[in-house]
């Protein structure tokens, strides 16, 4: 009987010990949860947008040809800026297309915003807040030869390539990825002839203004981060531009075909001088329109 009571006492003691340990463990877990919650609350930072799903046009560029002057949508967390790239700055155009297709710009920030001047982005370092002191120095690891043309000025919405200063960069080579968009043309006139302008804004000038007016710190960085979620081609506008290019090509070939079928002009009027039409070096043809290059 004594033995039975002794066993029962041991069993009760074991149960009490188990409950006691479980209670301490439960309080410990609750404390851990509270500490984790406080830590999370104290370290919350704005998250960069996740890269968008791969565009079909990006994945299979050969199946989605682009016109000579393609249109791209720069999709930001404050709206979309639609740009057209110039064909007479092919190195910058092709580089921008390649980076956009490889999703290089997805999730980078506008790291330099000056109201009444420009907004600047394209630095991959801006994905990492621990490298904030290096923002403005990042890129793909190469520069681009300057393609500065007098007819491409810093008008509002002009898309231009950032670069290092003249002392370190006498050839005015452009950054491999960083670009800026003009918000105020009057305050950017002095940049003409100094930086490569390789495109222009065709939609979203109001978005540029909204970004430019955002509050910034003393380093011209937005207080609330502004991200480029993605840059992708505008399929509708590019398709339309390709059709226009094709029509211009067909219309331009008609006179040659008619000339082959008609009798030569010299046989009909042998005394008339032959007039030779040549394309001069100081002009180009853009969709059937002749554009003069200023000297």
Q: Is 141 inside a domain boundary?
A: yes
What b/e sequence results for 102-122 when a residue is b if at least 16 CB atoms lie within 10 Å of its CB, and e otherwise? ebbbbbbbbbbbebebbbbbb
Q: Is 248 inside a domain boundary?
A: no
Q: Is 5 inside a domain boundary?
A: no
Structure-block tokens of residue 116: 């009444």
Q: Is 108 inside a domain boundary?
A: yes
What's the Cα-to-Cα distance from 155 to each of 39, 125, 190, 274, rounded to whole Å?
A: 48, 28, 11, 44
In which region does residue 125 sit, left (phi positive, over 0), alpha (psi from -120 to 50) or beta (all else)?
A: alpha
Report the C-alpha gap between 230 and 108 in whole angstroms.
9
Q: Is 49 inside a domain boundary?
A: no
Q: Is 178 inside a domain boundary?
A: yes
pTM, 2 dp: 0.68
Structure-block tokens of residue 279: 């394309």
Residue 159's Cβ-side half-sphere holds a number of Cα atoms within 13 Å equal to: 26
Domain with 91 in it: 60-239
pLDDT at 256: 52
pLDDT at 253: 66
Q: Is 37 inside a domain boundary?
A: no
User: Count of domains in the chain?
Assistant: 1
Report the C-alpha gap between 44 and 114 in whole angstroms.
27
Report the C-alpha gap between 48 and 32 in whole angstroms.
28
pLDDT at 251: 87
Please answer whether residues 133 and 157 qualify as being in contact, where contact means their C-beta atoms are separated by less than 8 angstroms. Answer: no
3-state SS, residue 229: strand
Q: Provide the residue-wise pLDDT of the chain in tens; the chain has 295 residues.
A: 444 444 444 444 444 333 333 333 333 333 333 333 222 223 233 455 554 444 554 555 556 799 999 999 999 999 999 999 999 999 999 999 999 999 999 999 999 999 999 999 999 999 999 999 999 999 999 999 999 999 999 999 999 999 999 999 999 999 999 999 999 999 999 999 999 999 999 999 999 999 999 999 999 999 999 999 999 999 999 999 999 999 999 888 655 544 445 445 444 444 444 334 344 333 333 333 333 333 3
pLDDT at 31: 35
Query: For residue 181, what is the domain's CATH number?
Result: 2.40.100.10
pLDDT at 64: 76
Q: Is 149 inside a domain boundary?
A: yes
Structure-block tokens of residue 216: 């910034």
Contacts of 7 (CB under 8 A, 6+ apart): none
């Amino acid at each position: 009987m004594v033995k039975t009571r002794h066993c029962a006492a041991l069993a009760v003691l074991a149960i009490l010990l188990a409950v006691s340990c479980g209670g301490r463990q439960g309080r410990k877990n609750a404390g851990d949860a509270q500490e984790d919650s406080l830590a999370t609350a104290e370290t919350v930072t704005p998250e960069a947008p996740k890269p968008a799903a791969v565009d079909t046009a990006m994945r299979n560029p050969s199946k989605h040809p682009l016109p000579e002057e393609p249109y791209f949508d720069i999709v930001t967390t404050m709206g979309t800026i639609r740009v057209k790239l110039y064909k007479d700055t092919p190195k910058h155009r092709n580089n921008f297309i390649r980076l956009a297709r490889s999703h290089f710009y997805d999730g980078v920030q506008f790291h330099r915003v000056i109201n009444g001047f420009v907004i600047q982005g394209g630095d991959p370092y801006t994905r990492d807040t621990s490298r904030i002191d290096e923002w403005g120095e990042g890129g793909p690891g190469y520069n681009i030869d300057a393609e500065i043309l007098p007819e491409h000025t810093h008008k509002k919405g002009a898309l231009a390539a950032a670069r290092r200063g003249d002392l370190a960069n006498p050839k005015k080579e452009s950054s491999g990825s960083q670009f800026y968009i003009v918000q105020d043309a009057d305050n950017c006139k002095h940049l003409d002839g100094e930086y490569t302008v390789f495109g222009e804004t065709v939609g979203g000038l109001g978005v540029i203004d909204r970004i430019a007016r955002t509050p910034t710190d003393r380093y011209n960085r937005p207080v609330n981060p502004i991200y480029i979620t993605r840059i992708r081609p505008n399929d509708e506008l590019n398709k339309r531009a390709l059709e226009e290019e094709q029509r211009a090509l067909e219309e331009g070939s008609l006179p040659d075909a008619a000339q082959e079928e008609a009798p030569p002009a010299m046989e009909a009027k042998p005394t008339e001088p032959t007039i030779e039409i040549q394309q001069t070096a100081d002009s180009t043809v853009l969709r059937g329109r002749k554009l003069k290059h200023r000297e």
